[in-house]
Structure 1
Amino acid sequence: MKYCRQCILPDTRPGVSIASDGICSACHGHEDKENKIDWAARAEAFQVIIDDAMARSDGYDCIVPVSGGKDSWYQVIKAREFGLNVLAITWKTPARTEIGQKNLDDMVANLGVDHLDYTINPDVERRFMKAAYEGVGATGLPMHMALFAIPIRLAVQMRIPLILWGENPQLEYGGNEIERLATKLDADWLAKHGCLQSTSWRDWVGKEGLSEQELAAYRVPENPGFDVRSVFLGAFFKWNSYENTRIAEEHGFSYQAGDRKTGTWEFADIDCDFISLHHVTKWQKFGITRAFDNLSVQIRYGQITRAEAIETVRRLGTQIPEEDVQKFCAFQGLPESWFWEVAEKFRNTKIWKRIDGVWQIPGFLIEDWNWGQ
């Protein structure tokens, strides 16, 4: 594993590469945000998109996919600032938290938007999550497939000309130069990214007995017949998770200080009891935890030093969300041993080695790491 000399991300993380200067693509993306992108020109380009959407709309001007989290609050606030008539759409997690429901309710009331809460048959969700976890080690794949497909399909069916997504992940978390400067979420982006493991709904037909009909909610229209523009808001306005949280809080977004399951951000991953599981197998697959992502962003924002980030990772350890693992296994009707047996299947032996009978990562970022934790 090679680590960025500026943040703490390794080259094992998907999308991250280390350049000849020793700096990762995510840090170079941050440099693009600060020095390369003409944000005034991007704002003007966004206004052209808004004008086109309003000219073509017949009711709702745009869809904003929302979870109720800080970023989706920011997206709706920004859309309302531009005078857009917003339809907010949510894929409803089968494990929504109390604070997640509260934030959705407050968003609708405080920001004045219409809202659709899209619930998929929980048994279909359960079987799809099991198939995805056992097949590719990603409990969150069905979630991502649904939250991308549902807004796109409804935009086509309801003839809503624009979808406003959040950040461009390749700009924020690592991608090549072309991907970092992209402004739209299109079919090519979905095929390559979107946490879909380069799969489509068709690849899951027959797994755990899933039928084509049961997977309807996960399908993106292939021949839409109506042109929907689908863009990253973070490609037109500089994205900052801390600033987004501040703005969202001013309008009523809330979170519980000190209530953190994984990582270092108390204001993130609070809407669903299963979202933390999406980060668990990063340890087996890539040799990182959620904290590596959060702390690397904080380094780029100038909030902490690299040395402080390393010390924080040492202090936090692997941050296993035991309670969420228990809830997920109960949802599946399976023992916790099943969860960890599946996780073990995805241990990346290119980086993990058995040393004195214990799995370890030679050359790990922290020399005195407790491998027994």
Structure 2
Amino acid sequence: MRFDDDGFCHYYQEYLDTAAKHLPSPETREAELERQIQQIKGDGKGRDYDCIVGVSGGVDSTYVAWLAKQHGLRTLCVHFDNGWNSELAVENIHSIVSKLDFDLFTYVVDWEEFRDVQLAFIKASVVDIELVTDHAIFATLYRQAGKHDIRHILSGTNVMTETTLPPHWIHHKTDHVNIKAIHKRFGTRPMKTYPLMDWKVKKVLQMHKGLQALSILNYVPYNKAEVKQRIIDELGWRDYGGKHYESIFTRFYQGHILPTKFGIDKRKAHLSDLIFAGQITKEDALAELAQPIYDPAQERIDREFALKKLGLTEAEFVNIMKQQPKSHYDFPTERPLLETYPILKPLRWPISLVRRVLSS
């Protein structure tokens, strides 16, 4: 972290730069959103759906679906089931689609296969284990958009709550090369049902389908606390108690693996965004950080459940946690390919699209 002469860190400046680039002014955002909505509806004419929304049961994706309904968009909701959904997540998703009267497509990956890929990342000691899920989510969205000839993705990514994140805490979510390389090194089962977004998929959606993403939350007033209350009142949504905690593995990963092995507390990034957006004070954030990152009782339950589901003994897991962390760049990645072969440079567009749609 770097500080300027006035004592402001570089993450705050990045937030301001991102806000200036992606947030319309309060005076123009309503008209700009309406223009975007009309384009989406126009592109959807003659097709079954106007847009596609990935739903996890979390706050952001739930509110995106709610906004799609308010603007009269014919929406296909898509969910990637990796076997780690909490019961509450499942209840939230079904409540959302039933009350909004949207179609839902759920892709259920073969559990043994997904576990093998996930275990490969755990054994590799790389930081972004959630890359395995995030990549598959977007690959599933891509495939369904292609199947139904949908031209627009409504994204839950937004400046107010998802700008700040140190780059060494995550890896590029589009990197199918990195996934295949790590799985080849540590995996044991062939990937048959795991949805990879390879070069062919990226090229088809970019060059032939014209897929576009709209971060719709940047075009509306977005106060996290107010949005939570709205979806509770109107959709019967229920809170998980943490960002992305709709997944049991994500809760264990963010609450135990990241802080224990990598020294990372993602609350710092999430709370920083809310401070930058003026939604909480620094004192509020410090008070929350003073609380345990993980409820001890919940951690014991999740640890026992996760290790059993992953097929790891306590001793095996402890040994993995003691291994020295490695960089994703210790394994092959797609970045050198993009930089080395000019023919692949047009594919930078879908990669940037994914980064806008998926934020861990």
Q: TM-score, normalised to structure 1's length?
A: 0.71
2:323 aligned residue: 345
1:56 matches 2:46: no
Separation in structure 2 between the aligned mates of residue 92 and residue 338 of structure 1, nearest angstrom: 26
1:24 aligned residue: 9
Unaligned residue ranges in structure 2 (runs of 5+): 327-360
Separation in structure 1 between the aligned mates of residue 159 and residue 108 of structure 2, nearest angstrom: 26
State the Cα distance separating 1:329 from its structure 2 match. 0.9
Q: How many residues align?
A: 311
Contact 1:25 1:175 (8 Å CA) reproduced: no
Moved more, 302-311 or 89-98: 302-311
Separation in structure 1 between the aligned mates of residue 222 and residue 157 of structure 2, nearest angstrom: 7
**Selected match of 2:216 from 233, 236, 253:** 233
Cα distance per residue 1:251-298 (max 9 Å; x no partner):
223326xxx6xxxxx264342211113313332565342432444345
2:140 aligned residue: 150
**Selected match of 2:72 from 77, 80, 83:** 83
2:263 aligned residue: 287
Aligned CA distance change for structure 1 residues 107 and 307 (closer, same or farther; 3 Å): closer
Aligned CA distance change for structure 1 residues 161 and 334 (closer, same or farther; 3 Å): same
**Selected match of 2:32 from 29, 45, 49:** 45
**Selected match of 1:208 from 164, 187, 191:** 187
Contact 1:161 1:227 (8 Å CA) reproduced: yes
Separation in structure 2 between the aligned mates of residue 79 and residue 143 of structure 1, nearest angstrom: 25
State the Cα distance separating 1:304 from its structure 2 match. 5.4
State the Cα distance separating 1:250 from its structure 2 match. 2.1
Unaligned residue ranges in structure 1 (runs of 5+): 1-10, 12-16, 180-190, 261-265, 349-373
Aligned CA distance change for structure 1 residues 290 and 230 (closer, same or farther; 3 Å): same
Q: Specify the SS of the correspondent of 1:123.
A: helix
State the Cα distance separating 1:131 from its structure 2 match. 0.7
Q: TM-score, normalised to structure 2's length?
A: 0.74
1:188-227 alignment runs, 5 A limit: 193-194=172-173, 200-204=178-182, 206=184, 207-211=186-190, 213-217=192-196, 219=198, 221-224=201-204, 225-227=208-210
Aligned CA distance change for structure 1 residues 24 and 253 (closer, same or farther; 3 Å): farther
Amino acid at match of 1:325: R
Q: Specify the SS of the correspondent of 1:216.
A: coil
Separation in structure 2 between the aligned mates of residue 169 and residue 345 of structure 1, nearest angstrom: 35
**Selected match of 1:247 from 230, 241, 244:** 230
State the Cα distance separating 1:149 from its structure 2 match. 1.3
Separation in structure 2 between the aligned mates of residue 286 and residue 315 of structure 1, nearest angstrom: 19
Root-mean-square deviation over aligned CA pairs: 3.4
**Selected match of 1:67 from 36, 53, 56:** 56
Aligned CA distance change for structure 1 residues 226 and 78 (closer, same or farther; 3 Å): same
**Selected match of 2:244 from 251, 264, 269:** 269
1:164 matches 2:142: no
State the Cα distance separating 1:132 from its structure 2 match. 1.3
State the Cα distance separating 1:240 from its structure 2 match. 3.1
Amino acid at match of 2:55: V
1:319-358 alignment runs, 5 A limit: 321-346=299-324
Contact 2:136 2:196 (8 Å CA) reproduced: yes
Aligned CA distance change for structure 1 residues 124 and 317 (closer, same or farther; 3 Å): closer
Separation in structure 1 between the aligned mates of residue 238 and residue 270 of structure 2, nearest angstrom: 17
Aligned CA distance change for structure 1 residues 66 and 26 (closer, same or farther; 3 Å): farther
Amino acid at match of 1:281: I
Cα distance per residue 1:141-192 (max 9 Å; x no partner):
211111111102211221001001112369733279xx9xxxxxxxxxxx97
Amino acid at match of 2:110: N
Identity across aligned pairs (percent)? 21
Q: Specify the SS of the correspondent of 1:63.
A: strand
Aligned CA distance change for structure 1 residues 124 and 25 (closer, same or farther; 3 Å): farther
Amino acid at match of 1:223: K
